[in-house]
Amino acid sequence: MNSLHAMKTSHPAPPPGVHPTEYRSVLGRFATGVTVMTTVCPQGRRAGVTVSSFNTLSLDPPLVLWSLALKAPSLSVFRDAGRFAVNILAEDQAELALQFARGSDDKFLGVATTEGLGGVPLIQGAVAHIECEMERRDDGGDHELYIGRTVRTNSSDRHPLIFAKGRFGQFTTLS
């Protein structure tokens, strides 16, 4: 038996698992914009959470995708709500991103908002707002996936807040 044949018939060792800390560090190398998802449930309770797992899913129909940790205190509010808003934060709103990332009884304390469709709070000064109706929720491991159908948008010429390697930053063009 030659060595080439032996290599073809041998079974490789299973790949080692990815350590959660390493995985998080690798994913942190991918720069993202910073969003705060906001909603209000039928009983009037508002919720907001900082999210970097936001993405465009489809242009036709206009769908967005994001995820929320199953351990998030606001999970029940987002589950009960029929709509949500994506607030794309501006470069001077890093403190706001931190405020919505921390646990708090009222994350909206001191935050200027306007009322969007269905009473969903829209954060003033954001680069853009994407107002969505809940299309569906799905399992995503230790997160729940949210797909929203975009029903209204607005934007400004402000510069977005960027997040990479565990830090906030600003966008600059190369040319």
pLDDT digits (tens, 9 = 90+) for 11-58: 566 567 888 788 777 777 777 899 999 999 988 999 999 998 899 999
- Tell me how many domains the chain contains: 1
User: Has residue 175 been placed in a domain?
Assistant: no
User: Has residue 11 been placed in a domain?
Assistant: no
Distance between CA atoms of residues 26 and 70, nearest Å: 22
Domain that holds residue 66: 31-165
CA atoms within 13 A on the CB side of 57: 18
**CATH code, domain carrying 137:** 2.30.110.10
**Sheet strands (E) in the chain:** 32-33, 35-40, 46-51, 55-58, 63-69, 83-88, 113-115, 121-123, 128-140, 143-155, 161-164, 167-170
User: Has residue 76 been placed in a domain?
Assistant: yes
At 5 the pLDDT is 45
Flag the least confident range among 5-9, 28-32, 141-145. Answer: 5-9
